[in-house]
Structure 1
Amino acid sequence: MNLFLSIFLFCSPLFLLGQSELNYPELLYPPQAIKANWVSHPDIQGGEDRIVLFRNEWMVDDPSEAFIINISADNHYFLYVNGNLVTHGPQLSDIRHWKYETIDLKTYLKTGKNLIAIKVVNYGKRRFYGMQSIFTSLMVNGATENAKVLNTSGTDDGWKCSIDDSYRALEVNWRGGGPKSIVGGFYANNPTDFVDKNHYPTDWEQPDFDDSDWVDTQFFEGASSMGGSMAYLLEPRNLPLLTWEKEGIGHTVRTSDIDVSEFPVSGKTVVPEHKKIRFLIDQKYVTNGFPELIFSKGKNAHIKIKYAENLFGPKNTKGDRNIIKGKELLGYYDHVVSNGKERQKFTPNWMRTFRFVEFEIETKGQELVLDSFSNYRSRTHIPSIARFSSNNETYNAIFDICKRTVDICTQDYFLSDAYYETMQYVGDTKIHALLWQAMSGNLAHTKNAIEQFHRSRDADGNILGAYPLRSTFIYPTYSLVWVDMVYDYYQLTNDTDFINTYKDGIIHTLAGFEKNMNELNLVNETQYRYFVDWYTGPNNGGGTATKNNGKNSAVVSLHYVHALQNAARLFKAIGDKHTADTYLDRATAIKSSVYKLCFDPNKNIFAERPDKTVYDQHTNIMAVLTDAIAESEQKALLSNILNDPKLLQATYYYRYYLFEAIKKVGAPELFDLAQRPWQAMIDNHMTTTLERFESDKKPTRSEVHPWSASPAYFYFNYLAGIKSVKNDFQEIEIAPVFGILEDMEGLLPTSKGNILFHLKKIRSKLSAEIIVPKEMSGELVWNEKHIPLKHGQHTYILK
């Protein structure tokens, strides 16, 4: 292997690529200085699916001066200066914490007349479930004196606007009548686009466009601190802008008629007049972003562009993702009508996720020329630079698909998946956050997610299951997971100020959950669903182990114990011994009840409920993590449940907790067995991770699901044994366990710099080549030997 040598080039401190959000990571332009208003088009009525285009021309004497604006919009905007795309936003949040971006435009300016052009999209009644909205509107505020000329006021402010009549939203049909647009049910992402270029104002974002028939903007609401209370309460973006990186798209692999096999890689393709064709492109790996089609001529030709993570065979089977024969693309699509002009451009108004793209084209009386097709990848600007390689190619492939999944789904919030829902769920984010920290060494997204979940809490203490959100999803178990997330953050950073920020929220949430407990010290059923995992089998309760709405569920009761124990550790850290002891006493009482009522001495495992009719891995995993069973019996319990196929199985999501249990009891020999389900993904040539186990009754939907990417985290945290002991990697420990591996090397980015390692096991001997940044101290542990780590690159031999 040569990874260690290649990644040596990356051992410089963590950096941000192309960072241009001026309020990240330090707040420089607070909302109190915003004096602009929210404006809109006078013909906009409310929440209809419309696009409003805005333009403003102004003079610049010195383009070298900083020219800083604050900008936001509802639902989403794309910002152009002198015809160049600058960024899009705003960062996803809620009405009471509406985000604005702060950007210096000077690199886009020129002496003399300049143009700012902004497209604001309202996706309509079926907009993304995570997207709150009041009214289709725009706010631009000059943060520097010279930029105040662009302030939106709604009265003689120089801004003109027009409704783009070429656009309407295409609802993705997943329920109700008619043919379904997708396979697998629930869809919470945005609708797709229908664009008729015959009604499109071509070059509207260019300086020489004639906007003489456009109208003045109309005042909607104030955006200042007082006026903000009438609409959006503004706060600065707290994460970097998203990337806009051009990415080539793969070859055509199947066509219905004319030969387009070289498109889009090798240039343009001509589709004759009066022709219907269909062709399929395979990107070879899943990606996401904003695909751009450039096309010419083809007056009134219809172009459908369909996107999918995978292809489907008979009865919606998937199988080997590299095999396309006998399979079809079933997924959402954009629909474009050509106006016959040269170099028309179509880019969707929201991200698309795909490995496969299928074009369906019908031309009329003029040939259509497809000039080019490429993708602009959307990711957070925070670099993901972690690397891992071993002597086991399956592990290497698993790391790759896990990392790609996490990278795709880290935008300006943590996406639950990249295609179907794209929401920030609590249970998903707990795992995603730990993975992203390992891939980037950065905690900004984690802090943002914990804060947003905290803001979602209802009067009963429930954390919404996903947030931001325009609906009401409540899973009481996810409220408990939020407490666990706060503990995860503290355990890494030792930041007691962070605990104090959320201590009242923790008390409220745990008090709310306590109301769910019954006289048996087990949970009652509630009006909400206790989501645990996507169980398969006869007792599938739609996310809970049984069909009795979770009443007397042992695993849910133990999740409460887990949260109580973590809360006790947090309150102990801030010196609140009374609260800590109260939580520990309550946890002990519930554990005792679970053991008394649900442990089966004949099977030596826990049942899922006292009637002992249902047995699952989940209850037993949580029993280990909470010490509901004696430590001396925990390793045997894990081995027992991993070798019993009759139990309800922990799927990809819940195996994060299984890996944690294996680490807790010190059983690296069980890690490979617990990871076996990922082998099927590799065998099927997947390039990202599945949402759940395949089932004949319910095929999986999402193929880009970070909650299923946990092995990559444990490669670093457990197999290589690298962990922070104090203050976010100020002090570290490296205690490798290897499992079935014999050789591991990689790069783990941290806030204190990058750790590079090459660990090799030769029988009972360890050879460790390690680079440790100067900001760190720590020790290497092997066979109960502890030796100090030295700064820089050193080789250690331990027996």
Structure 2
Amino acid sequence: MNTLNSKEKYHEVSVQALSQEILSCYGPKADFRWVRCADFDSAPFVCAYKREFFLEHEDEIRIFVTADERYQLYIDGDFVGEGSERGDLNNWFYETYDLKLKAGAHVIAARVWALGDKAPTAQISANPCCFMLYTEKKEHLDLLATGYSQWDSLKLEGFSFHEVPFAFAIRWREDIDGRKYNAGFRKGLGEGWQKADNFKITSLVEPALKLKPRNLPYMLRRNIKSCSRVLINRLKPKDYSNIENVKILPSQDSDTENQRWQSIQNGGSVTVDAHKTIRVIYSLDDYYCFYPELRLSGGTDARIFLRFSEAAYLTRDHEENRHFRHPKGNRDEIEGKYFKYAMTTEYISDGSCGQVFDPLWWFSGMYFELVIQTFEEPLVVEGLSLSETRYPLEMESSFRSSDKRYDEILQISFRTLQNCTHETYMDCPFYEQLMYVGDSRIESLCTFVSTLDDRMPLKAINIINDSRLENGLNMSCYPYRGMHVIPPFSLLWIAMVSDYACWRNNSGELVTSLLPDMRRIVSYFVRRKNTDGLISPGSGRRYDAFNFIDWVDGWNNDWGVPHGDNEINSVFHWLLVYTLGLYADMESCFGSQIFAQRALNEAEEISKTVSHLFWNKDRGLYADDLRHESFSEHAQILAILSGFAPTEQFDIIKQTLFADENLLRPTTYFSHYYFEVCRTLENADAFWDRMKLWYELEEKNFKTVCESTLPTRSDCHAWSSHPLYHFYSTVLGIRPAGFGFEKIEIKPMLGRLEKAQGRLVHPKGQIEVDLTQRGGRLSGRISVPDGLEGSVILSDKKLDFTRHDEVLEF
């Protein structure tokens, strides 16, 4: 049950195949009726809806709920659920709840908001602040359904919004003036309620929303009680409005006072005297995404800042830096530092008893602070709750090795994946909250090795496909309000489909349905060949596009694009050739042999052109640009992975890639592809050497993996979590041997490890590997589910197995 207070009363329907749920109840002429607040004028707008009703006897009622943009649902004051699951106009999701209600009077209420152009850029809207509740049974329509029964509405006053300049995609956050706000809406209390306006959404009158059942399980809501450290600073009144520039000092209060502030999470309370300004900093001991709720009494006009940070910064003054990469030091240390670039929300007390301050959307980080300023009256802080929220993703596989550092890296990598998985994948929970294709490919791979739950990878593939433009490309991140196009990410979307086809055994129908869209992407790029046989990915100014590959400092630009006139570079071409190979394999297995051969022919032709124009014989490398002035690991990596580099050049770059110290290196993101090459070339030393990028995180007490090499902007960034994938697929070496995961290939690469063991989830059961390496000999045991076949490969040796258990020695 997804409630905070009353697990006995309500429960949500298990997420299942509900695609025809409403239609099965009412047939194709189901009459969905929406309501809108009578006072609505324009977004941003926050309102409440309520329906008061009476039951003669106990009843169970299934309801379907959605809103534009978002809602939080309450029954008799208790939280029931939230939505709508993030989508777009063609994928507007509704949630399903079962209500178990006793006889008597009840009130169902919802807080609904639409922020318009102040909403996160991932939030799409068509009919702001509209709300719909439908019932499964016709006899309940007149009792509860919007447009059938009498619903009232109320504009929730007191909201204002401030811009977040360092988080362009999150955009604005809310503040609440409690002197105007009606927190009693949950129980239908307060004055000013009016009859809600009926609002029928049709394609002829308003933008239509294509209703679909929620795809995903309901987001986790779990109380956090791990604030083991509290730090208190007494401030001057002027510090309140300048708090980000106020240095954090060692705690200035006794242990007893610290304990009192800690107790507000467990039923305690603290009084802040009149005319005081104070900051109270809580350390969460882990990285969380969470909804805060603050309970207050008294303190008329008192101001309370809630501020949330990933880490404290070493200095107060920073040079202009587009990517906000500033030193933070050890993440467990905050004294003497500053909470710059914190997410904030502010509340003003109305002086009453039992005030509740609960922001609309969640926050994230390892630290939060209360900054309180009182005036004529003392303020009583009666309680604070933090409710963790994220996709309910839990680890179903396991990995251990003889080097505990790697166990720690796996732990923080998985924790990153958890915090970046919500109603969509997200690049990061703090700064952008966007589902980029490049990030999502890595997140999907990490999901495949962690759990059998593949609903999020499926949603990512399908909804990004729904963003397709008329030229054949898909958006680079989606959902997205506006236009955001990175042409190379359309190629990585094809790679995402290939990954799913390999790692799951139910992929045939999906891949077949998506092949026409893959053909459109391939056609887009092939059509752009110039007379030299080279391709400009396309500046696509109409779509505000840029051809991002990786944030490499040496490329001397702010857009992560390799050097090259008119953006023609070898890195993109090798990415295209690599993708053509993946696409051809899918066509051959699920589609057309003709299209497959065409793709292979294109790959061969492009690879020959690139090898001729970009190969630098003196350095034994592919240059990034036609003038041979820039050289990166990226070009060599993709040439190797593509399998189309000419044999002579391949034999050279598999040495120079690792030997040339002047090559521009990938960031933590693109190091995923470097690790893939290490496996292809069986270079374990290079693999473990590059893992040093992650060792530093443990030394600085990171709880998640960050966006880039240090200093970094984001401390929690899922595109750097791929060691999680590689510990299973490269170190233990467990991978699908083709589409459908019906056969497996185990190609271990322990390198410097003496021992590695693990268990990997598979649709048929568990794959277990236990390996030991001594004196140049590898031995161990593998166990696979019944009916799963495969082979173990080590250098030039191969052992096929069909038995459930196999003892190995090489």
Q: Above 0.5 in TM-score?
A: yes
Residue 57 of structure 1 is aligned with which of 35, 52, 59?
A: 52
Q: 1:19, CA displacement in angstroms? A: 8.9
Find the counterpart in structure 2 of residue 671 from structure 1.
Answer: 687
3-state SS, counterpart of residue 340 of structure 1: coil
Residue 435 of structure 2 is aligned with which of 389, 400, 424?
A: 424
Find the counterpart in structure 2 of residue 9 from structure 1.
Answer: none
3-state SS, counterpart of residue 199 of structure 1: coil
Aligned ranges 1:349-498 → 2 under 5 Å: 349-493=360-504, 495-498=507-510
Find the counterpart in structure 2 of residue 12 from structure 1.
Answer: none
Find the counterpart in structure 1 of residue 518 from structure 2.
Answer: 506
Q: Is the 8 A contact 1:608 1:615 kept in 2?
A: yes
Query: Which stretch has the larger CA shift, 508-517 or 625-634?
Result: 625-634
CA distance in 2, matches of 1:337, 1:547: 54
Find the counterpart in structure 2 of residue 37 from structure 1.
Answer: 33
Q: Is the 8 A contact 1:416 1:428 kept in 2?
A: yes
CA distance in 2, matches of 1:214, 1:672: 64
3-state SS, counterpart of residue 256 of structure 1: strand
Q: Is the 8 A contact 2:704 2:715 kept in 1?
A: yes
Q: 1:756, CA displacement in angstroms? A: 4.1
Are 2:86 and 1:130 aligned? no
Find the counterpart in structure 2 of residue 159 from structure 1.
Answer: 151
Residue 195 of structure 1 is aligned with which of 150, 170, 176?
A: 176
Are 2:780 and 1:788 aligned? no
Q: 1:739, CA displacement in angstroms? A: 2.2
Q: 1:634, CA displacement in angstroms? A: 4.2
Find the counterpart in structure 1 of residue 304 from structure 2.
Answer: 303
For structure 2, the residue ranges without an aligned partner over 5 or more in a row are 1-9, 235-251, 319-325
3-state SS, counterpart of residue 285 of structure 1: strand
Are 2:232 and 1:222 aligned? no
Q: Is the 8 A contact 2:512 2:591 kept in 1?
A: no
3-state SS, counterpart of residue 208 of structure 2: coil
Query: Which stretch has the larger CA shift, 487-496 or 393-402?
Result: 487-496
Q: Is the 8 A contact 2:402 2:756 kept in 1?
A: yes
Q: Is the 8 A contact 2:11 2:97 kept in 1?
A: no
Residue 245 of structure 1 is aligned with which of 196, 218, 222?
A: 222
CA distance in 1, matches of 2:573, 2:133: 50
What is the one-letter code of the residue matched to 1:544? V
3-state SS, counterpart of residue 725 of structure 2: helix
Aligned ranges 1:563-642 → 2 under 5 Å: 563-630=579-646, 634=650, 637-642=653-658
CA distance in 2, matches of 1:160, 1:221: 16
Q: TM-score, normalised by structure 2?
A: 0.88
Residue 715 of structure 2 is aligned with which of 696, 699, 703?
A: 703
Are 2:559 and 1:542 aligned? yes
Q: Mark the CA change 1:549 to 1:473 in structure 2 (over 3 Å): closer, same or farther.
A: farther
Find the counterpart in structure 2 of residue 347 from structure 1.
Answer: 358
CA distance in 2, matches of 1:457, 1:230: 19
Aligned-residue sequence identity (percent) comes to 25
Q: Is the 8 A contact 2:34 2:131 kept in 1?
A: yes
Q: Mark the CA change 1:777 to 1:700 in structure 2 (over 3 Å): closer, same or farther.
A: same
Q: 1:485, CA displacement in angstroms? A: 1.2
Query: Which stretch has the larger CA shift, 458-467 or 279-288?
Result: 279-288
Query: Which stretch has the larger CA shift, 580-589 or 507-516?
Result: 507-516
CA distance in 1, matches of 2:44, 2:174: 10
Residue 262 of structure 1 is aligned with which of 236, 259, 274?
A: 259
CA distance in 1, matches of 2:17, 2:329: 44
Q: 1:610, CA displacement in angstroms? A: 1.6
CA distance in 1, matches of 2:557, 2:617: 25
Figure out how many residues of one structure are paired with residues of the other and give that number.
755
3-state SS, counterpart of residue 261 of structure 1: helix
What is the one-letter code of the residue matched to 1:113? A
Q: Mark the CA change 1:264 to 1:621 in structure 2 (over 3 Å): closer, same or farther.
A: farther
Q: Is the 8 A contact 2:569 2:625 kept in 1?
A: yes
CA distance in 2, matches of 1:417, 1:501: 30
Query: Which stretch has the larger CA shift, 730-739 or 657-666?
Result: 730-739
Q: Mark the CA change 1:777 to 1:104 in structure 2 (over 3 Å): closer, same or farther.
A: farther
CA distance in 2, matches of 1:202, 1:98: 28
Q: Mark the CA change 1:786 to 1:416 in structure 2 (over 3 Å): closer, same or farther.
A: same
Q: 1:323, CA displacement in angstroms? A: 2.2
What are the superposed Cα offsets for residues 4-48 of structure 1, whole Å, 9 maximum, x if unpaired?
xxxxxxxxxxxxxx99345534535145474231211121113x2
What is the one-letter code of the residue matched to 2:48? L
Query: Which stretch has the larger CA shift, 563-572 or 30-39?
Result: 30-39
Q: 1:218, CA displacement in angstroms? A: 0.5
Aligned ranges 1:707-746 → 2 under 5 Å: 707-725=719-737, 728-746=740-758
Q: Mark the CA change 1:138 to 1:554 in structure 2 (over 3 Å): closer, same or farther.
A: same
What are the superposed Cα offsets for residues 537-596 of structure 1, whole Å, 9 maximum, x if unpaired?
36335211227552x210011111122111111111125111111111111111011111
3-state SS, counterpart of residue 392 of structure 2: coil
Find the counterpart in structure 1 of residue 321 from structure 2.
Answer: none
CA distance in 2, matches of 1:775, 1:229: 54
Find the counterpart in structure 2 of residue 10 from structure 1.
Answer: none
Q: Is the 8 A contact 1:70 1:142 kept in 2?
A: yes
Q: Is the 8 A contact 1:535 1:541 kept in 2?
A: no
Q: TM-score, normalised by structure 1?
A: 0.89
Query: Which stretch has the larger CA shift, 670-679 or 727-736?
Result: 727-736
CA distance in 2, matches of 1:532, 1:212: 56
CA distance in 1, matches of 2:63, 2:801: 50
Find the counterpart in structure 2 of residue 20 from structure 1.
Answer: 12
Q: Mark the CA change 1:549 to 1:706 in structure 2 (over 3 Å): closer, same or farther.
A: farther
Find the counterpart in structure 1 of residue 83 from structure 2.
Answer: 89
Higher relative contact order (CA 8 A, sep 6+): 1
CA distance in 2, matches of 1:202, 1:140: 22
Q: Is the 8 A contact 1:402 1:689 kept in 2?
A: yes
What are the superposed Cα offsets for residues 707-738 of structure 1, whole Å, 9 maximum, x if unpaired?
11111101001111122336654433333221
Q: Is the 8 A contact 2:401 2:407 kept in 1?
A: yes
What is the one-letter code of the residue matched to 2:623? A
CA distance in 2, matches of 1:352, 1:62: 41
Query: Which stretch has the larger CA shift, 341-350 or 257-266?
Result: 257-266
Q: 1:763, CA displacement in angstroms? A: 3.0
Find the counterpart in structure 2 of residue 117 from structure 1.
Answer: 109
Find the counterpart in structure 2 of residue 312 from structure 1.
Answer: 313
Q: Is the 8 A contact 1:34 1:141 kept in 2?
A: no
Find the counterpart in structure 2 of residue 291 from structure 1.
Answer: 292
Q: 1:529, CA displacement in angstroms? A: 1.3
3-state SS, counterpart of residue 582 of structure 1: helix
Aligned ranges 1:773-784 → 2 under 5 Å: 773-774=785-786, 776-781=788-793, 784=797
For structure 1, the residue ranges without an aligned partner over 5 or more in a row are 1-17, 175-181
CA distance in 1, matches of 2:99, 2:740: 35
Q: Is the 8 A contact 1:301 1:337 kept in 2?
A: yes
Q: Is the 8 A contact 2:413 2:722 kept in 1?
A: yes
CA distance in 1, matches of 2:83, 2:144: 18
3-state SS, counterpart of residue 187 of structure 1: coil
What is the one-letter code of the residue matched to 1:539? N
Q: 1:360, CA displacement in angstroms? A: 1.4
Q: Mark the CA change 1:658 to 1:536 in structure 2 (over 3 Å): closer, same or farther.
A: same
